[in-house]
Amino acid sequence: MAIAGEIVALIQLALIARIAGIEAVSLVEAVQALKIRARRERKPVPLEGNEAITLTEWVRAQGLGRWWVMVPNASKLAGNPGQRAAMVAKMKRQGFYVGASDYFLAMPQRAYHGLWLELKRIKGGSVTPEQKQFHVEMASMGYAVAVCKGFDEARQAINDYFGPNWANRRKQGDNHAT
């Protein structure tokens, strides 16, 4: 019975390969060719930096640019490990806070003092324990906090922060409607 199931699976693979226009000498080659084609056809996941640019352009287009602040905590530091450690120590003395969100929207809305937004890649990004702690602290102090995977989620979080009337008033030309 198990052999019959395997034969059926192999025949199905052979048919899929033929339908896909893959000429292969063996089923192993057909499977490899199908895997390669699937990898090529996969849509690449945008980098977080590219999503951040799209988000910031959108925020500015909404008339919110002067209240949109980037916190450069994820900056890549140049130099050898010793130089990077010295730079991080100096940055901490200057106010660098491990775990702070990527962006702050400094516009109070409803019950919130502002919106802290953490932007992650659509796939693969994760929140660190320090970021989780920062989010808990900010929420306890009356700030809205959003962790968003990609531009679409971030745009939705901002729209949700302002509420449904904001989207309607924006259409009428009031870019910073409250």
Q: Please indicate, yes or no, whether residues 58 and 93 belong to a single structural domain of this protein.
A: yes
Give the CA dihedral 80, 82, 84, 88, nearest 10 degrees: 180
Q: Please indicate, yes or no, whether residues 102 and 157 belong to a single structural domain of this protein.
A: yes
Look up the domain containing 16 and give its range: 2-41
- What is the number of structural domains in the chain? 2
> Is the confidence at residue 6, as pLDDT, over 80?
no
Q: Please indicate, yes or no, whether residues 94 and 66 belong to a single structural domain of this protein.
A: yes
Q: Please indicate, yes or no, whether residues 57 and 26 belong to a single structural domain of this protein.
A: no
Q: Please indicate, yes or no, whether residues 25 and 59 belong to a single structural domain of this protein.
A: no
What average pLDDT score do residues 138-155 get?
95
Q: Are 112 and 144 in contact (CB under 8 A)?
A: yes
pLDDT band at 119 (very low <50, low <70, confident <90, very high): very high
> Is the confidence at residue 106, as pLDDT, over 60?
yes
Q: Are 51 and 44 in contact (CB under 8 A)?
A: no
Q: Is residue 162 part of a domain?
A: yes
Q: Is residue 131 part of a domain?
A: yes
Q: Is residue 142 part of a domain?
A: yes
Give percent above pLDDT 70 in the chain.
Answer: 68
> Is the confidence at residue 66, as pLDDT, over 70?
yes
How confident is the model at residue 87, as a pLDDT? 85
Q: Please indicate, yes or no, whether residues 110 and 143 belong to a single structural domain of this protein.
A: yes
Q: Please indicate, yes or no, whether residues 92 and 134 belong to a single structural domain of this protein.
A: yes
Q: Please indicate, yes or no, whether residues 26 and 52 belong to a single structural domain of this protein.
A: no
Q: Please indicate, yes or no, whether residues 24 and 52 belong to a single structural domain of this protein.
A: no
> Is the confidence at residue 50, as pLDDT, over 70?
yes
> Global pTM?
0.68
> Is the confidence at residue 96, as pLDDT, over 60?
yes
Q: Is residue 25 part of a domain?
A: yes
Q: Is residue 177 part of a domain?
A: no
Give percent above pLDDT 90 in the chain.
Answer: 42
The distance between the two most distant Cα atoms of the chain, rounded to a whole number of Å, is 70
Q: Please indicate, yes or no, whether residues 93 and 166 belong to a single structural domain of this protein.
A: yes
Alpha helices in 27-97 (DSSP H): 27-41, 48-61, 81-93
Q: Is residue 30 part of a domain?
A: yes
How confident is the model at residue 10, as a pLDDT? 62
Residues 6+ away with beta carbon under 8 Å from 166: 159, 177, 178
121 or 169, which is more confident?
A: 121
Q: Is residue 178 part of a domain?
A: no
Residue length of the chain: 178
Helix (H) or strand (E) holding 22: none
